[in-house]
Every structure is written in C-alpha cells, then in structure tokens.
Structure 1
Amino acid sequence: MRTEPMPTRLDRIFARLDREPVRPVLDVPRMTRHRVVLFGATLAFYLAIVLAVAVTSWLVRFDWQAMLFRPYQQWPEIHAFLDYWVVLGQRGPTAVMVAAWLGWRSWRQHTLRPLLAFGAALLLLNITVGAVKYGLGRSGPHYATDVGSNEMWHWFQAGSDIFPSGHTANAVVTWGILAYLASTPRARRWLSALSAVLSLSVGLTTVYLGTHWLSDVVLGWTAGLLILLALPWCEPLIARAEAGILAQRDRWTASHRGPRTAPRPTPAPAPVAAVIGRAAGSTASGRGGDAAPALVASAAPQDEPEPEPDPAAPVRETILPSTVRANRPPYLAPGPHTARSERTPVTPVGSRRPPHSDRAPRNAPSAARPMTGG
C-alpha cells in the first residue's frame, strides 16, 4: 500500500500563494498626441497664473479677500481635524506610506518600475517646484505687509517660498502616482478622481489655516499635474535604470558567492577480480610471493562447475562503492552477491540427525534375544 506524505502548514501556505492570481501589468504609458496636447494646455495655464500674480491682477485681489475673511475664525470647530488632514500633503509621511505600498507591488510583480517611477516623480517635483518657489520669492499671508500687493520678489525674507503650494503639488504627485501605476483601467479612473479631490482638499485646508494664498493652491495643483503628464518621457530612463540595478545585483551576488569549483571526476570502478588479486598480493607480500597465486586460486570454486545463467531470469547487479571494493578480504568469491532476503530458501532432504554407526535403523527387524533361565 502506497502512502502519500501529509503536507505541512508551510506547504499549504505556499500552495495558497501560488493559487492567488497576480494582477496583470498594463503597458507602459507613452507620450501620445492627446497627452502632449493636454501637457501643453496645462503648461499654458501654469504660465497664465504666474503672469496674473506677477502683474497684480484680479487674482491677487481675490487672494487678499480670502485671507481677510479668515476662515479659521469663521469655522473654528473643524480646526483640530484640518490640522491632521493637512498631513496628507506633507512630503515625508505621504512618501513613506506610498513607497511601502509600491514596494509591495514591486515584490509581487517582480519589477522595480513602481518604485523607480515614484522616485522620478519626486525628483521632478523637488526640482521644478523648488526652483519656482525660490525664484519668485512670494511671501505667505502671515508675512504679508502691503495690503493688495502680490508680495513677490522677497528672496531674503522669512516665509518667501510658498508660491506654488508644496503641499498641494506633493499631494497631486504622491497620490496621483497610484493612478498612474494602476493595474486596470477602472482602478486608474477611480484613483485619478480620488487623488484630484484629495489634493484639492489639502490645498484648501492650507487656505483655511492661513498658510497659503488661493493662487498658491491653484498653481501647486497645476504643477503636480504637469509632473504626472510628463512622466512618460522618463519611462525609457526608468527602464535603463532598472536593467542597470538588476545587472549590478547579479554581479554583486556572483562576487560574494566566489568562484565555482568544478567537481572532481569519479574514477571508474575496477574489476572485482583485479581488486581481489591486488588485495591478495598485498596480503601475501610479507609471507612470500607464492602465497598470492594460491589465495587467488582458492577464491574461485573448483568442485562444482559454474551454472549457466537463465536468460528468462532477471539480472541483478550489486555495485559497491570503491572504498568497500578495495577493502574486501581476499577469501570472498568474486561476482555480485545477493542479500539474504533475495535468496531462494533450500529445504534439506532427509533427517537432520547425524548418522551413528552404533545405532540401528528404526524400522529394521531386531535380533532375537537369548532366553535365560532353567
């Protein structure tokens, strides 16, 4: 009866993981004509906002009206909640959360593209938004001095790096990258809408708290959208970076494993008769050269002729290791030897008692005993 081994708990876990489907990876987004047109329109809108603030247009007056309205005084009951909600736009906490999720995605899909795309988006965010912030030098509402002015070109004053809003741009890029790397079109649509609402709510929270102008939020939202639209241009660079990282990992692994040594060739087994002859010669070398032929001759049977092999019977060969064959004593007969369980039992014929010369056979007639008496 054949029994199958019982699977362990670890085997059942791995079997469940093997059955769990992995979501298919969509094609890498390309810079299509539609995306190029959308990128150009967004860039034009970005420049229009910067120009409107620079010339102190109606947008600046609207910023002052929203700041003087002081929303944090109009609705003080939601101030505590919005203090925590605005954290969803801070770069440190959001980057850690999204990087953890994308790291798990990279492990499941066996690719570094999610993490590398997120890193490229953050790099573009820091370069573009940071350059515009320090280049325009606009002060925030808490540091404004002239009512109705655009508060720009204050490079050496405190709080002069708020245009565009970094919280809003970071929220657009951090949560929008999830929609950019979504596995299905439906998930991409839902995540796009969710990231848009989340980023706008974070930006309006900064207006409520009085840390940003309303135009800062609009420009920050546009800056983050520009980075997501331009990300397909970085896809070839991301692919080359992934190939280089994997190649470097392979080289590092090969260098730490060390050179592989070729296995030693296994010597061919020597014939049993030659091994017995060498063993007999080495044994009898101390007693004289004539003893070796006698031992070799005595090892082969001489009384009975060797039986002819039956062609129908299966041939069994017992191959012994080289160390066992070399150490066999010379008095063993050459040839393969079968185990006791494989031998054919032989039942002796006749009585097992040894013969006695002074004992008469059991069925033989007994001799007449002499009669005594008178």
Structure 2
Amino acid sequence: MRTERNLTRLDRVFARLDREPERPAHIDVPRMSRHRVALFAATLAFYGAIVWAVVITSWLVRLDWQVMFFRPYEQWSEIHAFVDYYVVLGQRGPTAVMIAAWLGWRSWRQHTLRPLLALATSLLLLNVTVGAAKIGMGRLGPHYATTIGSNEMGLGGDIFPSGHTANAVVTWGILAYLASTPAARRWLSALSAVTSLGVGLSTVYLGTHWLSDVLLGWVAGLLILLALPWFEPLIARTEAAIFDFRDRLRARRAGTVPALPTPVQVPVRHKPRESAHDVSPTARTPKAPVYLAPGPHSARSERTPVTPVGSRRPPHPHNDRGTRGTASTARPVT
C-alpha cells in the first residue's frame, strides 16, 4: 500500500519561494477603463473642492482649528508611544525599502521588472505632484500657526497636502494594484485603506498636520493609483529596454559576436567527360562566333583583306587564291 507524505507548512513555504521556470502568462495589467476614468475625474474634482474650501477659509478651516485646540495628544496620552511608532508606516524611506524588498522578490520569481518599475513610477509621481502642491500652497502646520482662524496659506510652509498620508496610500496601495487575483486585490485594498487612514489620523493626533491636510493627502495618493494604468505602456517599454541591454551586456562579457548568416553554397555538378565513341547524334556542337569565317583558321598575315567590291591587294602570279575577280572563300565582315 502506497502512502503519500502530507506537505507541512514549511514545505509549502519553500515551494512558494521557488522561482517559476518562466514568466507567468496570467499577469493582469490594469487598463484605463471608462469606470476608472470617471472615478479619476470625480477624485480630481474632490481634490479641487478641498483646496478651494481651505483657500476661502470655509467651515473646513474652522474644523481644523477646533481639532487643534482639542489637543488629542493630551486627551489620550497613553497611546502616544504607540502612535510614534505607527506613524513610521507613512514615512517614505522605511516603507519604500520594505515594499521594494517584497516587490523585488516578486520580480525575481516571475521573471519580470514590472512590480519594481510600477513602484518607482508611483513614487516619482508622488514626489512630483505632492511636492509641487506643498511648495505652491505654502501652508503652515498647527505648531507654527500665526493667526487663529486663518488658513495659513502662502506663508512658506510645506504640509498641505500631508506627505505621510499620501505616501501611505501609494506605497501600501501599490500592493493591491499589483495583486494577481481579484480576491487578493480586495483584501490588500482594505488593508492599505486602513493603514493609510491610521497614518493620517496619527499625524492629526500628534499635531503635525491639520485635518484638511490629511484629507487632501488621501485624495492625492488615490489619484496616483488611479492614474497608473496610463503609464503601463511606458513601464512595458522600459522593461523591454532593460532586458535588451542586459542581454547585450552578457554577450559582450562572454565575448560572443552574433554570427552572420552564411551564404548557401550550391554544389557544382561536373559532367563526365565524353569520349569519341559516346557522342550522341543529338548532341549540339558549339557555334563559331559571328565575326569568324567558317572553315579552317588562318593567320592574320595570310588573310586577304576584302571589301564589298573585292580585294585591294594586287594580283600575284604565285598567289594560290586566284586572280582578281575570282570568288573568295572569305565572307565580308559583318
């Protein structure tokens, strides 16, 4: 009786860590569908509404000041140490290293650079868009506010929108964006939403950001994730260029030169020599050139120059070709 050994959890882990023999064909690349475009437009409109509400010093700014005067870090001081560590999940350096390590393993296992290139593209978009908004609006934070009730815009600050919140949305949301199955995408989307929400509220608890900064940071990060399918063709071209460069570099190190196509040589068949007894009556004899007269070949000095009216050489009694006016065996040159 044959029994099969049950795989342990460690066996399954090692099987998961094994590299696949070739790139999987089921990798799902998100496309910019109409639903995604409509969601992107709605999110962009919400982004503009938040900025306008802060610029005109609306109820949102008054809510910011009320939360600041509430001082959550004094109301719940017992969780201060935990929040100090939790907010690190929104810092760009540590989170980028952790996510890059995971996506690097996926790239190695699946023989593709798309996970790492998607992460690099999203972080580049994050730095450009959020950094430009911070510098352009120049809002001061709660700890540096100058006038009670004002929006603190245009005073040289750099907290609007919240970089911690936007970074948490992008770095943890990229895992859901690159998920292989719909179920994994749903679970990772929920996990990234909870993580980024906790990071944003942690900055409000510590008093480093206004509540409106966190709202705009969430929206800014979501815009980057929604816009990523527009950059998928660029990611694919970059991946192909990197692989081509790698192949050329390997060939150069190995000292191999791509071989030129060798010309096809057609074997020449030599006809066997034919003897006098083997000549068939149907065999063709080579024709003489047009400019040669038929008959035996003679030297140039022995030939008689001819013209259409006859020979110009005076008659000679010993000439065996006959006297002037007799028929000549030579024909006029054509």
Same fold (TM over 0.5): yes
* 2:144 is the counterpart of 1:136: no
Shift of 1:259: 3.3
* Residue of structure 2 in register with 1:154 after alignment: 155
Q: Is the 8 A contact 2:140 2:158 kept in 1?
A: yes
* Residue of structure 1 in register with 2:166 after alignment: 169
Using a 3 Å threshold, how does the CA distance of structure 1 residues 239 and 57 change in structure 2: closer, same or farther? same
Q: State how many pairs are aligned.
A: 245
* Residue of structure 1 in register with 2:191 after alignment: 194
Provide the rounded CA distance (Å) in 2 between the counterparts of 1:116 and 1:221. Answer: 23
Q: Deviations over 1:203-247 (max 9, x none)?
A: 000000000000000000000000000000000000000000000
Shift of 1:257: 1.2
Provide the rounded CA distance (Å) in 2 between the counterparts of 1:18 and 1:60. Answer: 53
1:215 corresponds, among 212, 215, 222, to 212
Q: Deviations over 1:34-82 (max 9, x none)?
A: 0000000000000000000000000000000000000000000000000
Provide the rounded CA distance (Å) in 1 between the counterparts of 2:258 and 2:57. Answer: 76
**Aligned partner letter, 2:166:** A
* Residue of structure 1 in register with 2:234 after alignment: 237
* Residue of structure 1 in register with 2:246 after alignment: 249
Using a 3 Å threshold, how does the CA distance of structure 1 residues 229 and 83 change in structure 2: closer, same or farther? same
Provide the rounded CA distance (Å) in 2 between the counterparts of 1:137 and 1:260. Answer: 58
**Aligned partner letter, 2:208:** T
* 2:61 is the counterpart of 1:64: no
* Residue of structure 1 in register with 2:88 after alignment: 87
Secondary structure of residue in 2 paired with 1:206: helix
* Residue of structure 1 in register with 2:30 after alignment: 29
Q: Is the 8 A contact 2:22 2:111 kept in 1?
A: no
* 2:115 is the counterpart of 1:114: yes
Q: Is the 8 A contact 2:96 2:171 kept in 1?
A: yes
Shift of 1:255: 1.1
More contact order relative to length (CA 8 Å, sep ≥ 6): 2
**Aligned partner letter, 1:61:** R
* Residue of structure 2 in register with 1:47 after alignment: 48
Secondary structure of residue in 1 paired with 2:154: coil
Provide the rounded CA distance (Å) in 2 between the counterparts of 1:118 and 1:198. Answer: 18
Shift of 1:20: 10
Q: Deviations over 1:119-161 (max 9, x none)?
A: 0000000000000000000000000010000000012xxxx10
Q: Is the 8 A contact 2:28 2:180 kept in 1?
A: no
Q: Is the 8 A contact 2:23 2:111 kept in 1?
A: no
Q: Is the 8 A contact 1:163 1:219 kept in 2?
A: yes
**Aligned partner letter, 2:175:** L
Using a 3 Å threshold, how does the CA distance of structure 1 residues 190 and 21 change in structure 2: closer, same or farther? farther
Seq. identity, %: 74
Using a 3 Å threshold, how does the CA distance of structure 1 residues 100 and 147 change in structure 2: closer, same or farther? same
Provide the rounded CA distance (Å) in 2 between the counterparts of 1:54 and 1:184. Answer: 42
* 2:176 is the counterpart of 1:179: yes
Provide the rounded CA distance (Å) in 2 between the counterparts of 1:114 and 1:199. Answer: 20
* Residue of structure 2 in register with 1:305 after alignment: none
Secondary structure of residue in 1 paired with 2:191: helix
Provide the rounded CA distance (Å) in 2 between the counterparts of 1:111 and 1:22. Answer: 7
Q: Deviations over 1:233-268 (max 9, x none)?
A: 000000000000000111111111113699xxxxxx
Shift of 1:19: 9.3
Provide the rounded CA distance (Å) in 2 between the counterparts of 1:130 and 1:233. Answer: 21
Secondary structure of residue in 2 paired with 1:146: coil
* 2:122 is the counterpart of 1:125: no
Shift of 1:27: 2.2
Give ranges in structure 2 of 5+ residues lacking alignment. Answer: 1-13, 260-334
Provide the rounded CA distance (Å) in 2 between the counterparts of 1:190 and 1:38. Answer: 20
Alpha-carbon RMSD across the aligned residues, in angstroms, is 2.1
